[in-house]
Amino acid sequence: MGQACGAPAANKRNKLDAKKVSNIHEANADIKIHTVVTGELDDDHATAMTIPLGEVTDEQLMAEVARRHLDIHDKITDKMVKETYDFIQELGQGASGAVWLVKHRKTGQSFACKIVKKDGDMNDAQSMSTEIEIMKRIRHRNIVSMYELYETPACLWIILELVDGGDLQTYIANHHDHSEATAATHLRQMLKALHYLHGVGVVHRDIKLANILLKKPKSGIPECKLADFGLSALVRLGEEGYDPDESGKRKEFKGLNDMWGTKEYFAPEVIKCEYGPQADMWSLGCVVYEMLVGKTAFPYRDSEDELFNRIMTGSFGTHRPGWIALSDEAKSIVNAMLHVDPRKRISATEAMSHPWILHNADREERNEKRNVKLEDAQRHHRATIQLRAKERKK
DSSP three-state, residue 118: coil
Reply yes or no on whether 206 is catalytic.
yes
Contact between 127 and 117 (Cβ < 8 Å)? no
CA distance 155 to 166: 26
Exposed e or buried b per residue across 143-159, where buried means at least 16 C-beta atoms within 10 angstroms of its C-beta: bbbbbbbbbbeebbbbb
Q: What angle do CA 239, 249, 142 make, to 5 degrees?
A: 90
H-run or E-run covering 55: none
Instruction: Out of 42, 167, 206, 258, pick the active-site residue.
Output: 206
**CA-derived radius of gyration, the chain:** 25
Who contacts 67 (Cβ-Cβ below 8 Å, separation ≥6)?
Answer: 45
CA distance 5 to 279: 16
DSSP three-state, residue 160: strand
Who contacts 371 (Cβ-Cβ below 8 Å, separation ≥6)?
Answer: 219, 220
CA distance 145 to 158: 10
**Residue type for position 43:** D
Q: Is 381 left (phi over 0), alpha (psi -120 to 50) or beta?
A: alpha
Long-range contacts of range 266-274, CB-CB < 8 Å, 24 or more positions apart? 266/308, 266/311, 267/311, 267/342, 268/311, 268/312, 268/314, 268/340, 268/342, 269/342, 271/308, 271/311, 271/312, 273/5, 273/6
CA distance 142 to 161: 11
CA distance 184 to 194: 15
Q: Is 314 left (phi over 0), alpha (psi -120 to 50) or beta?
A: left
Active site residues: 206
